[in-house]
Structure 1
Amino acid sequence: MGCETWGVSSDGAGRITSCRWEHGKVVDEAFGLDEVSELLERDGSLIWVDLCEPDHAGLRALADELGLDPHAVEDAVSAGERPKATRHANHTFLTVYATRLVPSDDPSVSAADPEASGRESRLRTSRISAFVLPRGVITVRGDDDVDMGQVLERWNDDPELLQLGVGALVHGLLDAVVDGHFDSIQQLDDAIEGLEDLLFDERGQVHTVQVRTYRLRKELVELRRVVLPMRDVVNAVLRHRGELDQRHTALDGFYDDLYDHVLRAAEWTESLRDMVTTIFETNLSLQDARLNTVMKKLTGWAAIIAVPTAVTGWFGQNVPYPGFGRPWGVLFSAAVIAAVAVTLYGVFRRKGWI
């Protein structure tokens, strides 16, 4: 039995998905917002309501009915909020960001200018705000880029966990978000490995390396902004969870594991940022080394070419010289040119200049 998604509701609340569990099993779905307050009062009831692209007025009406803090309601629809967890009078408010990395040929990345397309960030972030009540969670999203069906599957796959209360819903939501962070980080790690191979390519694709390095640094900065604050979010949830649901402590191990995942994601992101910085510096060093090699080759060939210029210039003087006015003089000058040029070529070749 799965929870259904409505279309746009008549009260302007946007697209709504709703579900209610009792003893870990789905018992009701697709109920209206006017039923939420009543269902929250039932013992043993656990509900989830998801509002996608909600109307501000509709959200305020629901907030007034449930006694949600008006500042939290404003944060749920305001742009640019950072990931956080805030405790209010009768609920905890969460804001987290789900992430995904789109392919380079995605229409949102591709542009008319190929150069600009190569620099465009492929990282997409989607904000999820949540009001955590003693018997339910209300999530608010500004777009439908996040597949909440995966979160719902996590909840329904473990009915025994859902019997532990609202903490199980919060854990499933945060766990899905952190798993998405890991997927994005893994893709960026793979991209960095590919960049390392390109960095040491003998063909010296300098421009491609520069463009990809810039894009990876840009994506890691964006990812870091939403991954690092997750440590504070999970810590705050751990502190506030006991106030919301004091019935169970069995979730402590799940949250400890979640916090460990958050730390690993943050450390991985930092290490990738350091790796990209190393690649950038290495690329500059390799460019200097390639430039030195080119200068050596140019200098070597210039010295070789200077030999015939010097010899013919000497023999072209208007004073007598060895072989002046005689046929063997030409042969002598040609022999000098060939001997000195071959000698210089051998010397430079042995030194690796040419």
Structure 2
Amino acid sequence: MGTITGTGTNGGRVTTRRWEDGKVVEEDFALDEVSEHLGRDGTLVWVDLCEPDHAALRALAGELGLDPHAVEDAISSGERPKATRHAKHTFLTVYATELDADEDRGEPGSRESRLRTSRISAFVLPNGVITVRGSDHFDVAPVLERWNDDPELLRLGVGALVHGLLDTVVDGHFDTIQRLDDAIESLEDQLFDERGQTHAVQVRTYRLRKELVELRRVVLPMREVVNAVLRHRGELAERHTELDGFYDDLYDHVLRASEWTESLRDMITTIFETNLSLQDARLNTVMKKLTGWAAIIAVPTAVTGWFGQNVPYPGFAQPSGVLLSTTVILGGGGLLYAVFRRKGWI
């Protein structure tokens, strides 16, 4: 699969492909040929604009009659996942997700979120799809593999292209959710570790909550996106009932991802609350131990204080006695401090 590098102020990479009867017949054709190919019957066209030059995108939009508001949404930041029906096309915005490993960040104890999202916008036309990506973090190779692995499906029209794109994105959501689920299970083991790594648990809990909040923002709206695609499928091109089962399965996957995300949110909230309860329990245990030690120390303190050490003892009435008493006091206090410090009580 070749690429064409743009020459606009923002640069960019353009990939084009055309199918007829489910088979690839042309690749890497120029953008000025897109409208001609889209007008052919029995043809499917895919155009991918990665980090596009805004002027070139607007020129293409003007040639194809794309809605200017949709074009603005495709290049602006902060858009939420959505599907909008316009006069000549349907506009989609979805987010692919990926969770970096701790070692990728270089800081296993960092509070920085490891979740990386990549926005993909798509203009769905009667005979083709134009995708716009803000970066190359989302790899389109798996999408192409899905399309090329089932030529019979591509014969069913543009709905097959849209399904392959959305299905790949949702599968990425599942991979991210699974990794977060594994991280939460690992956190549960660390939570009940008797060594009491409280700070590490707190940092990981905070980071997971932050990542889940970010994930929910892109996963939950996917239900509305798929619903809108289902409603608008027959408005642009002929609706093939053979695709209904594929979209029903896609919607089921979206629901499962949403429910799984919500359950993880409940789990991390439970872990946070349990961690606070365990800290209170550990504090009570420490207080009981300190109280016991204080009671033990109080006995000789009371005796020596009552008698004022005015009975004969080694070094009585001698300077060495003062030094010996001071050494015992400092040594005993230092030993108790070392023990308590090692156990993390002080």
Normalised-by-shorter TM-score class:
0.7 to 0.9
Aligned to 1:211: 203
Aligned to 1:263: 255
- 1:210 aligned partner, one-letter code: Q
SS of equivalent to 1:27: strand
- 2:85 aligned partner, one-letter code: R
Partners of 1:93 and 1:86 lie apart in 2 by 5
CA deviations 1:92-121 (Å, max 9, x no partner) are 000000000112232xx34xxx59x61000
CA contact (8 A) 1:95 1:129 kept: yes
- 1:163 aligned partner, one-letter code: R
Select 2:153's aligned residue among 161, 177, 181. Answer: 161
Partners of 2:54 and 2:121 lie apart in 1 by 14
CA contact (8 A) 2:8 2:55 kept: no
Select 2:140's aligned residue among 141, 148, 169. Answer: 148
Q: How do residues 1-354 of structure 1 correspond to structure 2 at under 5 angstroms?
A: 3-8=1-6, 14-106=12-104, 109-110=105-106, 118-316=110-308
Distance 1:164 1:297, change over 3 A: same
Partners of 2:137 and 2:3 lie apart in 1 by 15
Cα deviation for residue 307 of structure 1 reads 1.7
Cα deviation for residue 310 of structure 1 reads 2.6
Distance 1:13 1:22, change over 3 A: farther
Partners of 1:53 and 1:7 lie apart in 2 by 10
CA contact (8 A) 1:83 1:94 kept: yes
Partners of 1:316 and 1:62 lie apart in 2 by 97
Partners of 1:8 and 1:57 lie apart in 2 by 11
SS of equivalent to 1:170: helix
Cα deviation for residue 249 of structure 1 reads 1.1
Aligned-residue CA RMSD (Å): 1.8
CA contact (8 A) 1:37 1:66 kept: yes
Runs ≥4 residues deviating over 3 A: 9-13, 311-318
Q: 170-179 or 13-22, which moves further after superposition? A: 13-22
- 1:202 aligned partner, one-letter code: E
Cα deviation for residue 56 of structure 1 reads 0.9
SS of equivalent to 1:94: strand
SS of equivalent to 1:105: helix
Partners of 1:312 and 1:12 lie apart in 2 by 83
CA contact (8 A) 1:9 1:15 kept: no
- 1:99 aligned partner, one-letter code: T
Cα deviation for residue 247 of structure 1 reads 4.3
Cα deviation for residue 150 of structure 1 reads 0.9
- 1:191 aligned partner, one-letter code: A
Cα deviation for residue 13 of structure 1 reads 7.0
SS of equivalent to 1:246: coil
CA deviations 1:118-162 (Å, max 9, x no partner) are 100000000000000000000001100011011001100001110
- 2:136 aligned partner, one-letter code: D
Aligned to 1:348: none
Size of the alignment, in residue pairs?
Answer: 312
CA contact (8 A) 1:126 1:143 kept: yes
Cα deviation for residue 314 of structure 1 reads 4.2
CA contact (8 A) 1:21 1:47 kept: yes
- 1:138 aligned partner, one-letter code: I
- 1:213 aligned partner, one-letter code: T
SS of equivalent to 1:144: coil
Cα deviation for residue 309 of structure 1 reads 2.3
Distance 1:162 1:309, change over 3 A: same
5+ unaligned residues in a row in structure 2: which ranges?
Answer: 313-346
Distance 1:47 1:13, change over 3 A: farther
- 1:288 aligned partner, one-letter code: D
Identity %: 81
Aligned to 2:336: none
Aligned to 1:342: none
5+ unaligned residues in a row in structure 1: which ranges?
Answer: 319-323, 326-354
Partners of 2:198 and 2:8 lie apart in 1 by 57
Cα deviation for residue 304 of structure 1 reads 1.5
Partners of 2:294 and 2:212 lie apart in 1 by 46
